[in-house]
Structure 1
Amino acid sequence: MKRFYFQQIQRSGDFVTLDSDESRHVSVVLRQVAGDEVELFDGSGCYYRARIESVGKTVQTRILEKRTEKQDTSPQLWLALADLKGKKLDLVIQKSTELGVHTLLPFFSCRSQGRKTSERKQTLRARRRKIVESACKQCGRLTLMDIIDDLSFEQMIERTSNMDDCLKLMLWEKEHQHSFEQLRSQLVKKRVLLMVGPEGGFSEAEVNVARGSGWQTIGMGKRILRAETAAISAVTIAQFQLGGL
């Protein structure tokens, strides 16, 4: 059954009017018609069995049944990621959503190759949210991944400094003593934060600041990975260790 996203503002009683993008997907791409059943989700953890009532410029559906899934009890996984250039960040947003990351914190480090975009915050939020929505539809996730507005390295450190019952892990290519395998016994916190640097890596000063704020450096073996590869690999390993995969 095909799945479509909606916001609660689009709902009136048992009726949901899909937005223009989703309506086009229903009518033009999938060529579905009135009477077809679809699945709807609103990003809150619930999903709905619904029937298409009418197809036009917008598609109206009627909710037939509300469903919920068993709550995930594994620790939340957060990802702090140095901003990436081009569409690399879009790729990490997509894959992080699919892999179950709870919150993404993009930040600018001193060696970030990405540039602070001139795109307005509202437009940037909307574009990133669309990537998250699309990834949720594809993988069956019922809650949207949160994305914090871009921060500086210092702001990110400050924002995460007072998080209680949290394991904070900073990926660093010069760390050869600590790895995910050695830290398995510590992955029992309510929340795990991963920090991944830019293509040029973290500066020594940034590593020292992070360590002073409770971050523990870990390595990922002998290979030097691209930033987007490191982020996706680290999330996958952490989720496996946490029981999220």
Structure 2
Amino acid sequence: MQHFFVVPDQVRDGYIEITGSDVNHMKNVLRMKTGEQLEISDGNNKKYLCEIESLEADKVMARILEEREAENELPSKLYLFQGLPKSDKMELIIQKAVELGAWEVIPVATKRAVVKLDQKKAAKKRERWSGISESAAKQAGRNVIPEIKQVMNFQEALSYAKSLDVLLIPYELAEGMQATKERIQAIQPGQSVGIFIGPEGGFEQEEVKLAMEAGAYPITLGRRILRTETAGMTMLSVLMYHLEQE
């Protein structure tokens, strides 16, 4: 069943009005017809089973058949602070992060990042990344579309992360696996968690030091060296498993 997102204002009087690019996608790509059923999330923890009542030039009207509380989100908000990787790896990282339950993805320009984006290029990249987030959220049945923040430098990222309850930074010189297990097991549902992942080549020691001074806990991901596009997925998978055990 196809899945779409709206904002709460589009839900009224037993109907949902779909506008924007989704209209063309529904009519000309998916070739949906009146009477066809679909799921719609309002980004406010509600999900609706609907039936298409009309397809017009600039909008689609869907009649609400059933309303229910959405329970697809993790009990904690996970923030992935991802060091900018080379080529198109960021697209894969965002897609998988959204599927695994990330609340936000924050691209970070670290010292060892090969990719350098000026303001114009960063804005264009962010627009594409946001589209990938929306597509992944639809595919995964998410209740919300995770926001892809603008590219931040490392200091800006640390400042943004200050309000989070737990900060984790995988680091090759971190203590053994037992300490990492204890740190993850201590995370409680409802706590917000920031995960800092370095680019190819990892973080510089000074960056790790700054992160630890900001309250980040260094952890290990095991004895193997993981690629930057693998490390974030590993952390999100571990946290998803931990948080969804209840």
Give TM class, smaller chain. 0.7 to 0.9
More deviation, 222-231/16-25: 16-25
Residue equivalent to 1:55: 55
For 1:70 and 1:208, the matched residues in 2 are separated by 38
- Give yes or no for contact 1:157–1:213 (8 Å, CA) kept in 2: yes
- Give yes or no for contact 1:78–1:194 (8 Å, CA) kept in 2: yes
Residue equivalent to 2:170: 171
- Over aligned residue pairs, what C-alpha RMSD do you find? 2.6
- Give yes or no for contact 1:180–1:238 (8 Å, CA) kept in 2: no
For 1:143 and 1:76, the matched residues in 2 are separated by 12
For 1:125 and 1:171, the matched residues in 2 are separated by 25
**Pair 1:162–1:191, CA change in 2 (3 A):** closer
For 1:226 and 1:70, the matched residues in 2 are separated by 32
Superposed CA deviations along residues 201-230 of structure 1, whole A, max 9, x for unmatched, are 111111111111111111111211110111
SS of the counterpart of 1:66? strand
Using the TM superposition, give the Cα deviation of residue 29 of structure 1 relative to its aligned residue in structure 2, in angstroms.
3.0
- Give yes or no for contact 2:74–2:101 (8 Å, CA) kept in 1: no
For 1:117 and 1:142, the matched residues in 2 are separated by 33
Q: Does 1:36 align with 2:36?
A: yes
Residue equivalent to 2:154: 153
For 2:53 and 2:241, the matched residues in 1 are separated by 42
- Give yes or no for contact 1:173–1:201 (8 Å, CA) kept in 2: no
- Give yes or no for contact 2:73–2:101 (8 Å, CA) kept in 1: no
Superposed CA deviations along residues 73-116 of structure 1, whole A, max 9, x for unmatched, are 73322211111232211111111111111222221110012221
- Give yes or no for contact 1:81–1:107 (8 Å, CA) kept in 2: yes
For 1:186 and 1:78, the matched residues in 2 are separated by 17
**Pair 1:8–1:124, CA change in 2 (3 A):** farther
| TM-score, reference length from structure 2 | 0.85
Q: Which amino acid aligns with 2:174?
A: E
For 2:241 and 2:141, the matched residues in 1 are separated by 18
- Give yes or no for contact 2:72–2:143 (8 Å, CA) kept in 1: no
Q: Which amino acid aligns with 2:92?
A: L
- Give yes or no for contact 2:8–2:44 (8 Å, CA) kept in 1: no
For 1:187 and 1:21, the matched residues in 2 are separated by 39
Q: Does 1:136 align with 2:132?
A: no
- Give yes or no for contact 2:199–2:228 (8 Å, CA) kept in 1: yes
| TM-score, reference length from structure 1 | 0.86
Using the TM superposition, give the Cα deviation of residue 241 of structure 1 relative to its aligned residue in structure 2, in angstroms.
1.8
Q: Which amino acid aligns with 1:194?
A: I
Percent identity, please. Answer: 27
- Give yes or no for contact 1:14–1:63 (8 Å, CA) kept in 2: yes
Residue equivalent to 2:78: 77
| Structure 1 runs, 4 residues or longer, greater than 6 Å off | none
- Give yes or no for contact 1:177–1:219 (8 Å, CA) kept in 2: yes
- Unaligned 5+ segments in structure 2 are none
**Pair 1:89–1:4, CA change in 2 (3 A):** same
Q: Which amino acid aligns with 1:42?
A: D
Using the TM superposition, give the Cα deviation of residue 169 of structure 1 relative to its aligned residue in structure 2, in angstroms.
1.0
Superposed CA deviations along residues 29-80 of structure 1, whole A, max 9, x for unmatched, are 3322122222222322212222223335445123324322248573322211
